[in-house]
Structure 1
Amino acid sequence: MISIDGGHMSGAHIVAAARRQDRVTLTSEARARATRSYELADRVSRERRVYGRSTGVGANRDVVMPGSAAQSRSLLRSHATSAGQLRSPERVRAMLVVRLNQLAAGGSGSSPALLDALLDMIAADALPAIREHGSIGTGDLPALATTALALAGEAPTDEPMPSVFEFGAHDALSFISSNAATIGDAALACADLQVLGRACVVVAALTFSAVEGNPEAFAAAVERVTPFEGSRQVCRWMRSLTDSGATPARIQDPFGLRTFPQVHGPVFDSLSQLDAVIGGLANAPSENPVWLPSDDNPGELAHHGGFHAAYLATALDTSVSTVAQSASLVLSRLAILNEPSFTRLPAFLGDGTPGASGVMTLEYVAASALGEIRSAASPAASQSVVLSRGVEEHASFASMAARQLASTGPNLQMMLACELVAAVRALRLRHRSLVPGLADVMAAYSILSADTADRDLSPDIEMAETLLPQLAELL
């Protein structure tokens, strides 16, 4: 069960709600906080102009409006405009649970009944049809406006809604002023890459063992002089998975093995930072304007730019960059496994038949996937646009950055599967002894074919992909 209180949501909670559909509840303290924020918004909105309540939005911010339920409905209908493919159910669930927790933080000024309506939508798994495009990293307006219309009974859901919520004057802009969809996407992608990052360590250890790598590259001395936790952790893991007492075949290995802690470590550090940003934003009342009631004063209202997702976009772009760098070493290690001077086996780990291709094409498949990852590593946050008659002159494109990070997962998985197939073949052919942890891995991978004759290796790749999560669990 996930208890929504507006202050303690983590990326793991988002993933659990989206994928396992863990039960979600709302604390009484969260309801009370939302009520106080609503009462403050209701009072102050009668006393002064407030953006989106008694004015238009965007370039219409100076247009005085009456502030009514009809105005709210009009805003939602216009801002629901979107395009592209429909998002998966798990991505929509992630968005909903993030938005509920943000509302529970108590800064939106929305009706407390809106929180209960959203909670009912989550409980019923009544998911709105959310399309891919429309957000530029300054609020996921189309996704959340479509969700609002579904809550109001105007847009379809894949399961019946238990009830209909009537959006009042205080509810429309406050509901859509959020990056909840992008935060949810980021949480799912981050979780997937954390698993693949750990699996990558085990696959690299298999390759290391197959070619008699030099363990000095991740010795305790290297760990001590390394100032970054990600790299230090990779050193510790590699020592636990390999035989530090074995005689190495070389004084120095190629970078694919020798610099593995320094190149792969940043993946864990960047994902850790991304996870912290996800948690921060999932618990922050980022609505514009924000309403903060207080026991000591009349409360505060502030128009601000907290909807701008620059921190999230930067963390996402950084994570994509670190994944791309580590993925390059996967291809390097595949090249090592194909080279007789490292394996003391036939070229491409073939069966000895003259000209045998063996696992040659695994390198091409991996290179193709690497090309996709490198393409995704172009920083989304380096772009910007000027919109709404020039009054909104910057954008983070965090939503694009989240999609780019998510796209690296399947491609990295494909690359690791290729390396795994080649490493297992090399270890079998060399009859190498392994430390207990890796010996257990080899036993588990007995389902991979031992046939070294030239053949289609597509089924081997697919099988290896499904087994990667088991490798991650070893660490």
Structure 2
Amino acid sequence: MIRVDGRTLRCADVADAAAAQGPLVLDVSISALRAARKAWELAEELSARRIVYGRTTGVGANKDDAVPAGDTAHGLRLLRSHAGGSGEPMPPGHVRAMMLIRLNQLVAGRSGIHPDLIAALADALRTGSLPLVHRLGAIGTGDLAPLAETALALAGERAWLRGGIPPVPVQAGDALAFMSSNAATLAEASLAALELDTLTRASHAVVALTYIALDGNPEAYATPVHEARPHPGQIACAAEIRRLLGMEGTPAPGRRIQDPFGLRAFPQVQGPALDAVHYLRDVLAVEINAGTENPMISTVHGDAYHHAHFHTAYVSTALDQARATVHQVAELSAARLGDLVEPEFTGLRPFLAAGPAGSSGVMILEYVAHDALAELRQAALPMTLGTAVVSRGLEDHASFSTQAARAATAACAAYRQLLACELVAAVRALRMRQAELVDLPARDAFERAGAVLEPSTDDRPLTEDIAAAAAVLDDLARI
């Protein structure tokens, strides 16, 4: 059951909604619904005696165009004109996550939307009904097109991709109140943030196995080292590696006085990524429970406030930072993979080959890894360096958080492939060395990965090995 009260929705709830294949079980707060009704009543009252953007006026550069009193079709016209999404259909999980976030924001009671539309959105989620929503149509200043398409489905004017509910009427003030949100962007960002969290946690286990395969030097992870420069993520990373490897007291020195950066600098590079993902999740926890509608209807103050909460600079900059830091960690994974195929570091044959002379072993893994790294590098480019001037110059800045979220999704997919390549090589190296791992968390990681990876060291396609390694990373993140 997912609690919907406008205050306590979590990114994990969003992920649960996205993963669901049918109806959602919702616990919608009765008190929140009462507050939403009071906001609607106040919005109706205010619209009768003063100018309220989007209710008694047009939107964007049409802000000074007064809507005639009694023009009940104003809301539907706004939705129809803004439901111009394009491109591929949004994935079903993404749509469900968007709908849940929007429902939660609406019950926060600051939109002034009619309670029937809130109830209809909840019914759609409870019945597993999905509107047809297109991917393109937002630049980080409100997901106008996706939400307009959703609202028109609730109104009975657009087809449902799956299921459907009885149509509800749309009042003049409902259109902007429903569209004034970045729920679709926040849905994708939340899913990407959780995936980045999973992959960064799994990377500790992968690095621990590579460390064992390469006879790493434990000094780089020693507590005194990281107490001397106590960044939170760096300290957490070093502590996690010590836990996985059972480093207590003063461990025995490694084979080398200093390891390559892939091992030695891992805490210093992983630390910023851990901090960035943590910050991203904090930002999203605020956003998915925020009242972002412009204008904001405040029952506490009895007034409507025009503002710019639709602008998502917090989200776009947090996503840019997360992708950039994860890219640096991914570069270290590619570097460690290069060490794993080097006899000087493993004491094994080049490319971990085991067949006749000239066998290629896992040579291809480096090519796959660097291909994935190139895709991640492209996805890591900052979206916040761009802007847009639209609506006849009135809206003269954009955060591009929507594009930053899409790039985060791409970065996750690439990083998962890269870590999978390193894991395949690390497990093979440990098998070839016949390493006897003591009863430590790292051994659990080795056994879980080994259970899904083909033990044969013959030259053969490694496609299935990479896919299996990519899938087992979720398990490694929980060790």
TM-score normalised over the length of structure 1: 0.97
Does residue 432 of structure 2 align to residue 429 of structure 1?
Answer: yes
Contact 2:143–2:182 (CA under 8 A) maintained in structure 1: yes
Give me the CA root mean square deviation.
1.3
CA distance in 1 between counterparts of 2:11 and 2:246 reads 35
The match for 1:94 is: 97
- Pick the aligned partner of 1:73 from 72, 76, 84: 76
**Bigger mean CA deviation after superposition, 237-246 or 301-310:** 237-246
Cα deviation code 1:34-78 (max 9, x no counterpart): 011111111111111111111111111111112533111010001
Aligned residues with identical type, % of pairs: 45
**Bigger mean CA deviation after superposition, 279-288 or 451-460:** 451-460
Structure 1 stretches lacking a partner, 5+ long: none
The match for 1:386 is: 389
SS of residue matched to 2:333: helix
- The one-letter code of the counterpart of 2:467 is E
CA distance in 2 between counterparts of 1:42 and 1:95 reads 27
Does residue 467 of structure 2 align to residue 465 of structure 1?
Answer: no
Q: How many Å apart are 1:269 and its aligned residue?
A: 1.2
Cα deviation code 1:384-425 (max 9, x no counterpart): 011111111110010000000011111111111110110011
CA distance in 2 between counterparts of 1:24 and 1:227 reads 42
Q: How many Å apart are 1:329 and its aligned residue?
A: 0.5
**Bigger mean CA deviation after superposition, 46-55 or 134-143:** 46-55
- Pick the aligned partner of 2:62 from 52, 60, 63: 60
**Bigger mean CA deviation after superposition, 59-68 or 128-137:** 59-68
The match for 2:161 is: 158
- The one-letter code of the counterpart of 1:270 is A
Where do 4+ consecutive residues of structure 1 move more than 3 Å?
Answer: none
- Pick the aligned partner of 1:35 from 31, 34, 37: 37
SS of residue matched to 1:46: helix
Does residue 199 of structure 2 align to residue 187 of structure 1?
Answer: no
Contact 1:219–1:235 (CA under 8 A) maintained in structure 2: yes
Q: How many Å apart are 1:349 and its aligned residue?
A: 0.6
Does residue 152 of structure 2 align to residue 146 of structure 1?
Answer: no
Within 5 Å, give how 1:99-138 maps onto structure 2: 99-138=102-141
- Pick the aligned partner of 2:460 from 443, 455, 458: 455
Within 5 Å, give how 1:336-415 maps onto structure 2: 336-351=339-354, 353-415=356-418
Structure 2 stretches lacking a partner, 5+ long: none
Does residue 257 of structure 2 align to residue 251 of structure 1?
Answer: yes
Cα deviation code 1:435-475 (max 9, x no counterpart): 4222233333144222222221111111111211111110x
The match for 1:45 is: 47
Does residue 86 of structure 2 align to residue 83 of structure 1?
Answer: yes
SS of residue matched to 1:416: helix
CA distance in 2 between counterparts of 1:443 and 1:302 reads 58
- The one-letter code of the counterpart of 1:470 is D
Does residue 472 of structure 2 align to residue 441 of structure 1?
Answer: no
Within 5 Å, give how 1:277-288 maps onto structure 2: 277-288=283-294
SS of residue matched to 2:297: strand
CA distance in 1 between counterparts of 2:119 and 2:203 reads 42
CA distance in 2 between counterparts of 1:115 and 1:382 reads 36
CA distance in 2 between counterparts of 1:104 and 1:198 reads 34
CA distance in 1 between counterparts of 2:461 and 2:67 reads 67
Q: How many Å apart are 1:14 and its aligned residue?
A: 1.1
SS of residue matched to 2:275: helix
**Bigger mean CA deviation after superposition, 378-387 or 15-24:** 15-24
The match for 2:28 is: 26
Q: What is the total number of aligned residue pairs between the two structures?
A: 471
